Each structure stands twice: as C-alpha cells, then as structure tokens.
C-alpha cells in the first residue's frame, strides 16, 4: 500500500464530521492502482453508496492532496475477494451530552469466530447483526451508543433506552448488541425477552410457586427487554422489573430496553421505574430519509441474492415511508411478483403493477400552506409570522422547522420552498441544515418533529 494512503484518511477526517468518519471510513481501504484505475474497498453496499454519492468530493479532494495519479475511482464492496491493506487509524470519540460514544480499537476491527448462539438460552436471533444493520441519520446516534456498549458493557449508556415508532429497526439493533457481545465474550450471560415474556414468566412463577425466576433475570450480564410499552397496567410486574433493574444496575450489568415512546410518556408506569430508565441518555430512532431507505432496499435485496434497478429502489423508497418493516415487505412482494410474472421489477413499475399506498396518495394532496399552518399552530404562532421576516428566535426556529418539513414530508426542492417563503434557495438550504444538525443531539426537537409529522399526515 502506498504511504500516501494515510494522508488520504487524515485529510478525509479533517473534512467530514467525526460521526461520518466513524460510520463510513473506518474500513475504507486501498486495494490497487493500475492502468489509471484507483480501486478502494468498503464493507457494505450502503457505505459504497454513501461514498460514491455524498462523500465522493471529499474523497477526491483528499486524493488530490495526497498526489494520487488516477483517471477513474472505483469503489468495491470487500466480500473477501479483494486484498485490502489497511484501515483508518483510531479516531477521536464523538461526544453527545459529554458521553463517550465510540472509539474504534484493535478489538473493534478484529475478525471474530462467530459462536453458535442458542436461541433457547439467549432468546437472540443470530440473523440480527450490526454488519447488516443500515446506518443513517435516523439512527446513527443509537448505533454509536451501541458500539460504546459493546466495547464497555455496563459502563456507558446503562441503561440503554431506545424508542421510536414500530418497524424502525429497534429489535434488530438491540439484538445485534447482544450478538456482538457474545462474539467477543462467549461466556457472557445475555438474555433477550419481550416485556410480555417477562410478565408471563413472573405470573407463572407466582401462580405455580416456581423457583428460578430470580436467577433467570438477575444473574445475567446483559438483560435486553423489548416492547417495554406493553408493561401498562401490570403493577406487580413493574415492581418486579424495578427490583430486577436495581439489582443488575448495582452490579454494573448492562440493561437494554426498547419502547415505542419514552417511559415518562407511558400511562401508569411507576414514577420510580420511569426515573431509572431515564438515567442514561434515551435515544430515539426515526424513519430514515430517502437516501437511507434506498440503501436499506439495496442491502435487503443483496442479502436475498437479488438485483434491483434504481427505478424500483427509488419508487419504493419514495412511496413506502411509514416504517422499515412495511418497506421491506413491499420489496419482498415486488421480488415475488417479478419472479411470478417473469419480468424485472423495473418493468413492474413501468406497467403500473405496483401502486402507492393510500396514505402516500393522501400525503401528496397536502399543500405547502397546510404544512406551514400546522407548524405555526403547533408553536402558537400564525402563518403570517412564519411567512414574514421576523428574526425573533421562536419565530425563526419555527420557520426553519417548516422549511425542513416541506422537504422532509412533501419532497419539495429548496427552490420551490424558497418560492413559498419568498426567500433565496440558499437561505432555505441553511435553514434546513440548521434543523438537520440540531436533530442529531436535541431530543426535544426530535420529539417535536415526530409530533408534527403525525399532525401533518393526520386525517
């Protein structure tokens, strides 16, 4: 490998965010430079798409600084056929609320022999892994925190509480953490259960006076509990979970919980238990943006051994945006229909055999003015305030949120949004960027955006 490659990595690190470098460039490797073709390798189709698109200029600029002589840059997925020579050096930690998120180490990038995981003993599904979990702006904080847990279980983000709507990948992520921990520590006691299973086990133990319940849940190194919102109305189970939580936390055992909302937003949840679960930094997972939905579809198709064209990918990503589960389900339907009809998925789209869901048709009937009105009402303002030029902080913030939602929900261009607000499109770009950046760490804003999306699409 040429000595200049580290210069490339250092230059990229200086010109992209720490999060972007951690996500996309820790396994960005030089492969070869022959006949004017510079070949580099990345670990997945998603990373490949991001580097070829969003980060191509940053890569090419870094190559110029390092004086690489090439005519064509070729990015390939490293599936074992390419001999890569070196990854990125250790990167600095990314700070969120003064907590260390993720610092890759030699352990992180090592190759592990995957143990045979027993679903009976752990409850984990071995198919849920981090290397097939697509990372985007909607979940990068949750994934970074997950890496920190894998490196230091019981020490950082304990408890680890993630929340978000159904079908957004919460179950995949929390089980992937368990699987990764078992790869590194095969003797570690990891248990994954739904809250319904916890409740059932507790009731059965009480009813039949069975032994073993306490040992099952309190003598583990990692307890992963899914669908916590279904604990509503189960007071005695809440008490038992509260004491289980305290026992594990006191001994620095890792606790991982998922829910569709914050514990403080769940009716009848004991205040003490809600307080315990909020001790860490609760992180929400939102619906992925268009580019990430495209990457999810390509990754899913690749895992199924299928090839789909950009037309199909973009059609599905644009029209099925309620949740990832629905998106993947529609992809499976398209692939099955393609096999049945003997035509390509793109031809199915061209022939109108795949139609958008009714909610998407409804979304497209929403006007920009309706979005602005809903945002204004949410913040106790008027549409006139948002369309005006006031620089008062609360009005300016609401205006930028409206700009963001016009792009996010109606897919309007910055030029079209500029026409709506009688502003230059560069001003619109700046306003949208402000909100996108704030969404990374402002959890109150993330909740407000979620609320507004619901109001915009409500009947």
Question: What was the pLDDT predicted at 349?
Answer: 86
Q: Do 371 and 449 touch, CB atoms closer than 8 A?
A: no
Q: What confidence category does residue 414 fall into, taking pLDDT thresholds of 50, 70 and 90?
A: confident
Residues recorded for the chain: 459
Residues facing residue 255 across a β-bridge: 223
Identify the H or E element spanning 190. Answer: strand 190-194
Check residues 131 and 184 and name the one with the higher pLDDT: 184
Tokens representing residue 215 in the block: 């040992």
Question: What was the pLDDT predicted at 360?
Answer: 59
User: What DSSP character marks residue 304?
Assistant: T
Average pLDDT value for residue range 346-361:
77
Q: Do 50 and 24 touch, CB atoms closer than 8 A?
A: yes
User: What DSSP character marks residue 113?
Assistant: P
Q: Do 403 and 397 touch, CB atoms closer than 8 A?
A: no
CA atoms of 279 and 298, how far apart (whole Å): 37
Q: What confidence category does residue 14 fall into, taking pLDDT thresholds of 50, 70 and 90?
A: confident
Q: Do 452 and 374 touch, CB atoms closer than 8 A?
A: yes
Q: What confidence category does residue 160 fall into, taking pLDDT thresholds of 50, 70 and 90?
A: very high
CA atoms of 229 and 169, how far apart (whole Å): 16
Question: What was the pLDDT predicted at 358?
Answer: 63
CA atoms of 104 and 120, how far apart (whole Å): 32
Question: What was the pLDDT predicted at 395?
Answer: 95
Question: What was the pLDDT predicted at 140?
Answer: 84
Check residues 233 and 312 and name the one with the higher pLDDT: 312
CA atoms of 89 and 22, how far apart (whole Å): 11
Q: What confidence category does residue 101 fall into, taking pLDDT thresholds of 50, 70 and 90?
A: very low
**Phi-psi region at 262: left, alpha or beta (left = phi > 0; alpha = psi -120 to 50):** beta
Q: What confidence category does residue 2 fall into, taking pLDDT thresholds of 50, 70 and 90?
A: low
Q: What confidence category does residue 364 fall into, taking pLDDT thresholds of 50, 70 and 90?
A: low
Strands 283-284 and 29-34: unpaired
Question: What was the pLDDT predicted at 334?
Answer: 92
Q: Do 148 and 102 touch, CB atoms closer than 8 A?
A: yes
Identify the H or E element spanning 311. Answer: helix 310-319
Nearest to 84 by CA among 15, 168, 4, 28: 28
Average pLDDT value for residue range 15-25:
73
Q: Do 3 and 50 touch, CB atoms closer than 8 A?
A: no
Helices (H), 324-392: 324-341, 345-350, 358-363, 368-378, 383-387
**Digit-coded pLDDT (tens) for 294-347:** 888 888 888 888 888 888 988 898 888 778 888 888 999 999 999 998 999 989
Check residues 141 and 322 and name the one with the higher pLDDT: 141
Q: Do 224 and 178 touch, CB atoms closer than 8 A?
A: yes
**Phi-psi region at 148: left, alpha or beta (left = phi > 0; alpha = psi -120 to 50):** alpha
Identify the H or E element spanning 223. Answer: strand 222-226
Q: What confidence category does residue 87 fall into, taking pLDDT thresholds of 50, 70 and 90?
A: very low
Look over the chain and give the mean of its residue pLDDT values, rounded to a whole number. Answer: 82
3-state SS assignment for residue 157? coil
Whether the pLDDT of residue 110 is over 70: the answer is no
Question: What was the pLDDT predicted at 116?
Answer: 41
Average pLDDT value for residue range 258-281:
86
Identify the H or E element spanning 409. Answer: helix 393-410
Question: What was the pLDDT predicted at 104?
Answer: 33
């Amino acid at each position: 490998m040429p000595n200049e490659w580290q210069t490339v990595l250092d230059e990229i690190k200086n010109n992209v965010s720490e999060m972007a470098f951690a996500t996309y460039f820790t396994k960005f490797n030089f492969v070869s430079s022959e006949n004017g073709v510079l070949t580099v390798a990345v670990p997945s189709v998603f990373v490949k798409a991001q580097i070829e698109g969003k980060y191509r200029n940053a890569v090419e600029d870094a190559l110029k600084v390092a004086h690489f002589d090439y005519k064509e840059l070729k990015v390939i997925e490293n599936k074992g056929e390419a001999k890569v020579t070196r990854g990125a050096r250790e990167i600095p930690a990314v700070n969120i609320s003064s907590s260390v998120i993720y610092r890759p180490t030699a352990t992180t990038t090592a190759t592990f022999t995957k143990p045979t995981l027993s679903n009976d003993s752990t409850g984990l599904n071995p198919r849920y892994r981090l290397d097939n979990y697509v990372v985007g702006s909607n979940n990068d904080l949750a994934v970074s925190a997950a890496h920190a847990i894998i490196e230091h279980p019981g020490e950082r983000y304990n408890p680890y509480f993630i929340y978000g709507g159904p079908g957004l990948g919460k179950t995949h992520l929390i089980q992937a953490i368990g699987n990764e921990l078992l790869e590194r520590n095969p003797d570690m006691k990891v248990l994954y259960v739904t809250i319904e299973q916890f409740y059932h086990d507790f009731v059965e133990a009480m009813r039949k006076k069975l032994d073993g319940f306490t040992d099952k849940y309190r003598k583990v190194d990692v307890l992963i509990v899914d669908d916590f919102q279904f604990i509503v109305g189960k007071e005695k189970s809440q008490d038992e979970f509260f004491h289980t939580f305290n026992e594990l936390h006191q001994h620095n055992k890792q606790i991982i919980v998922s829910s569709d909302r914050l514990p403080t937003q769940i009716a009848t949840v004991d205040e003490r238990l809600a307080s315990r679960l909020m001790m860490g930094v609760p992180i929400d997972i939102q619906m992925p943006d268009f580019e990430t939905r495209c990457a999810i579809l390509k990754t899913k198709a690749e895992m199924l051994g299928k090839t789909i064209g950009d037309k199909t990918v973009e059609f599905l990503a644009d029209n099925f945006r309620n949740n990832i589960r629905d998106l993947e389900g529609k992809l499976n339907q398209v692939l099955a229909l393609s096999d049945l009809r003997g035509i390509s998925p793109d031809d199915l789209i061209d022939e109108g055999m795949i139609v958008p869901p009714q909610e998407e048709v409804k979304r497209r009937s929403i006007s920009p003015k309706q979005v602005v009105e809903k945002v204004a009402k949410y913040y106790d303002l008027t549409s006139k305030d948002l369309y005006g030029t006031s620089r008062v902080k609360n009005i300016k913030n609401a205006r930028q949120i409206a700009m963001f939602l016009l792009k996010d929900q109606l897919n309007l261009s910055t030029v079209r949004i500029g026409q709506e607000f009688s502003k230059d499109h560069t001003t619109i770009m700046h306003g949208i960027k402000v909100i996108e950046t704030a969404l990374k760490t402002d959890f109150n804003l993330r909740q407000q955006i979620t609320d507004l999306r619901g109001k915009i699409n409500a009947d």
